[in-house]
Chain A
Amino acid sequence: MAANLTLLTVMGVLYACGIYLLLERSLTRVLLGLMMLANATNILLLATGGYAGLAPLFIKGVAVEAYNDPLPQALILTSIVISFAVTAFMLGLIYRSWLLSRADEVQIDPEDRRVAQQDIYDVEEDSVIAPDTSEFPAETGTSRKKTRAGGRP
């Protein structure tokens, strides 16, 4: 199977740009990056079919190798539909984010910050408990209670 160098070069450039954009903080750029990555992957799928051949409609007397491989194209069609739906949804999310907070950026998780800033010392769990926490009065009562209280350091 021969590979098409032009296709592979375009694919490489798209992947590089897509990854660069994906690492940005602005949501619109992230979306553009995802679209580029999806298209680069579609080109990769196309490249797996090799050079274009005849349309895959059966004609008597034509060798099997002369036809184009239809499977990668079927896969690309499916993947285009999926990336279309996801892009539309992402646009909706970005618009909603803009409406709510006027921000086109990946937002900070407040709960995560709160957990990161909390003190290592926890009053309820880490405080030193006073040694005498027995609810039994130590000096009164039977000898059994006395021995228990006495047994404590």
Chain B
Amino acid sequence: MTGLAGLAPLAVVLPFLGAALTFVLIRHPRAQRTVSIGLLTATLLLEVLLLAAVWNSGAVAVRLGGWLPPAGIVMVVDQFSSLMLVVSSTVSLAVLVYATGQGAADGDREGPISIFHPTYLILVAGVSNAFLSGDLFNLYVGFEILLTASYVLMTLGGTGARIRAGVTYVVVSVVSSLLFLIAIAVIYAATGTINMADLAGKLADLDPGIQTLLHLMLLVAFGIKAAVFPLSFWLPDSYPTAPAPVTAVFAGLLTKVGVYALVRTETLLFPGEHLNNLLMVIALLTMIVGILGALAQADIKRMLSFTLVSHIGYMVFGLALSSVVGLGATVFYVAHHITIQTSLFMVTGLIERRGGTASVDRLGGLAKLSPLLGTLYFLPAMNLAGIPPFSGFLGKLGLLQAGVALGTPLAYVLVVGGVVASLLTLLAMARVWNRAFWRKPEDAERPDPLLLTGAGTGSTADVGARSGSRAVSRAARRSPRTVAARRPGTTAAADRGSTRLLPGMMVGSTLALVVYGLALTVFAGPLFQLSDSAAQEMLDRTAYISAVLNGAGVSK
């Protein structure tokens, strides 16, 4: 089985290969789509195999180029990292299909969508590299790969709003990366190594004051990336302006890479409980401040960005408990939250297409216009809020149990804070539901013509109103078939118009991800088992360290 885990570097190499190929095929959109979706599927299959290989056996280290650690770079596959790989690739595959559907529907043949595929695959490669890295500097490089790709995706098209948000995002990300690099330099000066397994032994010998300094520097650097409360203000400002698929994948993956790095810092590099109280206070503030911010928003994307910040608090909560139950719940919660948050952003992209806007003040009557859209929003929304049968409830329950098990006053405060944040999430979700889906479109403020006429019969007026929508008019200009179909003004034309509004590929990929989110609920038992054993292994540390240093793994 270790032979299989030796294929781990392919999880980084395959997306890079895809990026190169799609860049070459930039004038051939169809081939580009096939290559990127095909290679990402192959990556996902590979990662499923990796997960199966380490499910029972524990950590395996792959030495790149055959150099021995601590001098050489290692990639470490353990249960946590392979679980993260599988979940992140599933989500990125769904978003890729969604984005392809959007590009096909809007007919953006010459638009910047052609640069989307290579950049997106580089982003995926960076995420995989960060998850697999067993070396602090390689982790930094992974972060930089994914961040540089994200800068391009964030400002895709270069409109005014995106440039404005992009500037903030780039500056904040660069500063956090510099902090991380400074921390690496100081760690190297103090210990003479940047191999994480080697550091696990050597950091403990340092002076406690220096240990705290290094620990805090890493926490701040990763805290910015993970959007933990006092360092989270860049996120709701920058995410909502990006294109819908980009926001979806950012919300799902990028902050979780930061959380992953935080988990590794807390378990592998600085185990013990020095800063646990600080982390608990931060977790509480993140949960409460984030969700209060969400309640004030009218734009669904901004509201979701604030709930994203709030729910990062839950993950930090479980991490700060540093118990097997708490850490296991965090691992489970990360897997759940990546899926759910991404699917909510994808649904919001669909709402924006169907309703013409993402502002709840101007939306209404969507439940009648498109019951499918209603279902697609309702299931992940309830899941995020933690309504019983869903995985969000199970994850939160695990966290609350771990908090009660710890039993300190601060832990009880956190438990109460977690319940309150969960209820407020439900309130925020229900407000969107009531306004966008449930009220009459006439009650909305300046509703889009799409909403008012869509409920009527498919007449010429219907199609004429639709052509007011940016997406459709662009599609109509580009695609002669749609124009030809519009001319007779029949019901068939209206049908075609509605498939342009909600393209099958976009709805299909969203549906697939929502179903995948439900599957996390159905298979919560084995998943909890896996995350608990991953947590156990991370708290023990010995499997990871011996896999890297004593060569329990394979060389390549």
Which positions in A face B, CB cutoff 8 Å?
1, 22, 27, 30, 34, 37-38, 41, 44-45, 47-48, 71-72, 75, 78-79, 82, 85-86, 89-90, 93-94, 96-97, 100-101, 106-107, 109, 111-112, 114-115, 118, 124-125
The smallest C-beta distance from B27 to any residue of chain A, in angstroms, reads: 23
Within 8 Å by CB of A89, from B170, B177, B184, B431, lies B170
Which residue of A is nearest B71, CB measured? A71
A97 to B240, CA, bound (A): 19
Assembly CA distance A101 to B164 (angstroms):
10
Q: What is the CA–CA distance of A27 and B168 in the complex, to the nearest angstrom?
A: 10
Residues of B within 8 Å of A124, CB to CB, are: 435
| Cβ-defined partner of A93 (8 Å) among B166, B431, B435 | B166
Q: A93-B166, A97-B164, A107-B164 are in contact. Are A115 and B297 (CB under 8 A)?
A: yes
| B188: contacting residue among A71, A78, A109, A118, CB under 8 A | A71
Contact yes or no, B188 A106, CB < 8 A: no
Given contacts A41-B182, A90-B170, contact A112 B237 (CB under 8 A): yes
Having A75-B137, A75-B185, A86-B174, one finds 19 other A-B pairs with CB under 8 Å, namely A22-B175, A30-B171, A34-B175, A38-B174, A41-B182, A45-B181, A45-B188, A72-B188, A79-B181, A82-B141, A85-B148, A90-B167, A94-B167, A100-B160, A106-B168, A111-B299, A115-B297, A115-B298, A118-B296
Give the docked Cα–Cα distance between A45 and B178 (Å). 12
For the complex, what is the distance from the CA of A41 to the CA of B183, rounded to whole Å?
10
What is the CA–CA distance of A38 and B165 in the complex, to the nearest angstrom? 22
Docked Cα-Cα span, A27 to B167, in Å, equals 8
Render B136-168 as a binary contact track against A, CB cut-off 8 A, 1 for contact: 010001001000100110010011100111111
* Contact A115:B296 (CB < 8 A) given known A41-B185, A89-B151, A93-B170: yes
Q: Is the CB of B144 within 8 A of A111?
A: no
Residue interface bits B371-412, CB-to-A below 8 A is 1, else 0: 000000000000000000000000000000000000000000
Residues of A within 8 A of B299 (CB): 111
Q: How large is the interface on B (under 10, 10 to 19, 20 to 34, 35 or more residues)?
A: 35 or more
Task: Find out whether the CB atom of B296 lies under 8 angstroms from the CB atom of A89.
Answer: no
How far, in Å, is B183 (CB) from chain A's closest CB? 10
Task: Tell me whether chain B's interface is mostly helix, strand or loop, or mixed.
Answer: helix
**B302: Cβ under 8 A from any A Cβ:** yes
In the assembled complex, the CB of A119 is this many whole angstroms from the nearest CB of chain B, namely: 11
Residues in A neighbouring B165, C-beta threshold 8 A: 109
CB distance from A25 to the nearest CB of B (A): 11
From A27, A34, A38, A44, B185 is in contact (CB under 8 Å) with A44
CA of A150 to CA of B189, assembled, Å? 79
Q: Smallest CB–CB gap between B383 and chain A, Å?
A: 24
**Chain B positions within 8 Å of A94 at CB level:** 167
- B148 and A45 contact, CB distance less than 8 A: no
Closest to A120 in B: B296
B178: chain A residues within 8 A (beta carbon)? 34, 37-38, 41
Q: Which residues of A contact B174 (CB under 8 A)?
A: 34, 38, 86
Q: Measured between alpha carbons, how far is A82 from B145 in the docked complex, in Å? A: 9
Q: In the docked arrangement, what's the CA distance between A78 and B237, Å?
A: 30
- Of chain A, the residue at the smallest CB distance from B193 is A71
Q: Within residues 275 to 310 of chain B, which ones have a CB less than 8 A from any CB in chain A?
A: 296-299, 302
CB distance from B250 to the nearest CB of A (A): 17
Contact (Cβ within 8 A) B160 A86: no
Bound Cα distance A85, B141 (Å): 13
Beyond A89-B148, A93-B155, whether A48 also contacts B188 by CB under 8 A is yes
Question: A44 contacts B141, CB within 8 Å?
Answer: no
In angstroms, Cα B166 to Cα A125, docked, is 34
Chain B residues within 8 Å of A118, by CB: 296, 298
- The residue of chain A having its C-beta at the shortest distance from the C-beta of B145 within the complex is A82
